[in-house]
A and B are shown apart, each in its own frame.
Chain A
Amino acid sequence: KAGVTQTPRYLIKTRGQQVTLSCSPISGHRSVSWYQQTPGQGLQFLFEYFSETQRNKGNFPGRFSGRQFSNSRSEMNVSTLELGDSALYLCASSPGGTADEQYFGPGTRLTVT
């Protein structure tokens, strides 16, 4: 099976702009979770989607949003970018049950200048 893919791999944006990141899960997986990874904060959970529904949300401001499509592909959007949003954004796919194995994509490296 093909692994989790994310596009784009690298992005450079300026403050105030918005950005959309995409994640395609492993075939057959219906759950997609998003994480923000920074050197100081580690892996922080953003949100999780299953069958086009957000089931859980982390402690991030409303500027961070996401959605999932009927083919399980997911997008996350960050509006009004701030310098502190610079990070590696990782998505992970799993079948969708509790305590399922999660597999990560390669990530999107976002730099905000």
Chain B
Amino acid sequence: GENVEQHPSTLSVQEGDSAVIKCTYSDSASNYFPWYKQELGKRPQLIIDIRSNVGEKKDQRIAVTLNKTAKHFSLHITETQPEDSAVYFCAAPDSGTYKYIFGTGTRLKVLA
């Protein structure tokens, strides 16, 4: 089955700096990689995703890159703002099933 590892577990950056969160996966058949943002007391929200037929996807200040050879994908947040402070989760599908395996989360703190 799929295994997803996420690093770092906590990340503090100064406002305006960039933040990078990395996830590795084990199943080479995995083909879809979403990222979720969960603010305190709220539901996880899908913020960006990437499919295995592309290497990078951007949406304003956030981007996701995928390296299929190395089996890792990363979330990049540029020009961080205090409202980016949250826990971020990566996920990958357990191929052959309909379930997702989530990373353990990264708590991002953007310091004003």
Interface residues of A (CB under 8 A from B): 4, 31, 33, 35, 42-43, 45, 48, 50, 55-56, 58, 90, 96, 98-99, 101-107
Contact = CB atoms under 8 A, between A and B. Distances in A.
A73 B102 CA distance: 24
Given A99-B31, A99-B93, A102-B34, A45 B42 contact: no
Interface of B: 31-32, 34, 36, 42-46, 49, 51, 89, 93-95, 97-105
Contact of A45 (B34, B45, B100, B103): B100
Q: Is the interface of A mostly helix, strand, loop or mixed?
A: strand
Contacts of B89: 42-43
Given A31-B98, A55-B98, A56-B98, 15 more contacts: A33-B98, A35-B102, A42-B89, A43-B102, A45-B99, A48-B99, A99-B51, A101-B49, A102-B46, A102-B100, A104-B36, A104-B43, A104-B45, A106-B42, A106-B43
Contacts of A98: 93, 95, 97-98
Nearest to A43: B102
